[in-house]
Amino acid sequence: MALNGRPNLALPEVRQNPYPLYSELRRNAPVCQVEYGGWAVSRYDDVQYVLKNPRLFSSEGLRFAAEPPWFGRSNPWCDSLVLKDPPMHGRLRTLVGRAFGPGLLTRLEPSIQATCEELTTRVLERRAVDFVDEFATPLPATVIGNLMGLDPSLYSRFRKWATDIASLSASRPEDTELLASVRGSVEEMERYFHEVLERRRREPGDDMVSDLLRARVDGESLTSTELMGFLFFLLLAGLETTINLLSSSTWMLARKPELLARLRADRSLIPRFIEEVLRYEPPIQASLRLCTEDVVVGGVSLPRGSLVYVLLGSALRDETQFAEADRFDLDRKGTENLAFGHGIHFCLGAQLARLEARIALEVLLARVGGLSLRSEQLEWVPSVTVRGLRALPIEVHPA
């Protein structure tokens, strides 16, 4: 792909397959201005440098993806810890970090196992399924619902909310229909979480929302705005990313029967497979930062106030770090995977996402002998920040 003028990260053909553009950027314009404003940083070392320096690169930049000026209303997602810088970020991370302690995985594991068994039975009965709808969405929706103590009857709404908000990052002022749909989703979520918070205040339970209502650091609790922001963020962070990891993993296995056979023969390779899917198709493709002063990145000067697209999806295909980076290689070792971020905002749910993916693949591979794609024409979610299949029509063959 040749670069003509400023690249447009939001173009539908780029979202279908962003890797040729990323590769061109790394080679010829590793720090460059993009269409609609902002700078794209595409090389591994530069991406790591930006993420490591919150004093120079503020996470307020994410506001541009979640609350663009043409959205026309506030998005509570922006009140969550992921947009905060030190020292505020540290205070929030301490408060919510406790809820992610080691006990969490032990508590959730049995229900993850049971849900995977149930969903596998269902897909095997139906044979021809949309994997995103029938497995990749209900698993994390059930897990995040259990974690937060939410009402299972609303699980089917969760994906719409998550996809709607993710698509804001590739939206433009003229996308009136999409913007109206996202505003509707934000209003529904707000109403819903108000009710959840009210109920938990009256009747605290054994869930993360009750833990967050009780949490104190130096006698201080989370404010109502911070709580609402965190619930928004958690539902979206826990859902869209994990759905995409599960569907990209299954897509890979459906396209590579030899890989499926290798994993079935030796299931201890599953964690390595998950790490390589995270590198090859990172569910979070980009984060955003705002320069707090004039800075130099990769030899290029960026003025204070510049918006920076931190292209994780490109860094993870950087040939200087990953030999034959465009090849899916189960035997790859070495360089740190940036799929869960780096530095102070490193993902709090990384171990939970890995656990869900590992159990899902263990159960599927024990009972499924083969997968075939029912369509070669797959559509990806239109988002600059998130990468995931809208649907994955496959046929599931029993072992």
In degrees rounded to 5, what are phi and psi of residue 310? -90, 105
- Identify the burial level of 113 via C-beta atoms within 10 angstroms of its C-beta, where 0-12 means exposed, 13-18 middle and 19 or more buried: middle
Q: CB 362 → ligand HEM: shortest distance, Å?
A: 17
Residue 134: partners with Cβ closer than 8 Å, 6 or more residues away: 119, 122, 123, 126
Q: Which of 239, 256, 255, 249 is nearest to 275 (CA)?
A: 249
Residue 184: partners with Cβ closer than 8 Å, 6 or more residues away: none
Q: Which residues in the 34-63 window bind ligand HEM by CB under 6 A?
A: 59
Q: CB 81 → ligand HEM: shortest distance, Å?
A: 5
Is the Cβ of residue 57 or residue 192 nearer to ligand HEM in the bound state? Answer: 57
Q: CB 390 → ligand HEM: shortest distance, Å?
A: 17
Q: CB 335 → ligand HEM: shortest distance, Å?
A: 16
What is the DSSP pairing of strand 307-311 with strand 39-41?
Answer: parallel
Q: How far is Cα 263 from Cα 257, in angstroms, rounded to an integer? A: 10
Is the Cβ of residue 93 or residue 317 nearer to ligand HEM in the bound state? Answer: 93
Question: Cβ distance 319 to 335 under 8 Å?
Answer: no
Interaction between residue 388 and ligand HEM (CB under 6 A): no
Q: Which residues in the 263-302 window bind ligand HEM by CB under 6 A?
A: 283-284, 287
Q: CB 237 → ligand HEM: shortest distance, Å?
A: 4
Q: Which residues in the 306-345 window bind ligand HEM by CB under 6 A?
A: 339-341, 345
Q: Where does this chain touch ligand HEM (CB under 6 A) — which range of 122-130, 157-165, 238-246, 296-304?
A: 238-246
- Identify the burial level of 157 via C-beta atoms within 10 angstroms of its C-beta, where 0-12 means exposed, 13-18 middle and 19 or more buried: middle
Contact code string over 64-103 relative to ligand HEM, x by CB under 6 A: -----------------xx----------x----------
Q: Which residues in the 135-194 window bind ligand HEM by CB under 6 A?
A: 144
Q: CB 273 → ligand HEM: shortest distance, Å?
A: 14
Interaction between residue 347 and ligand HEM (CB under 6 A): yes
Q: How far is Cα 15 from Cα 296, in angstroms, rounded to an integer? A: 28
Backbone angle region of 218, left / alpha / beta, with phi > 0 → left and psi within -120 to 50 → alpha: left
Binding site residues, ligand HEM, CB under 6 A: 59, 81-82, 93, 144, 234, 237-238, 241-242, 245, 283-284, 287, 339-341, 345, 347-349, 352-353
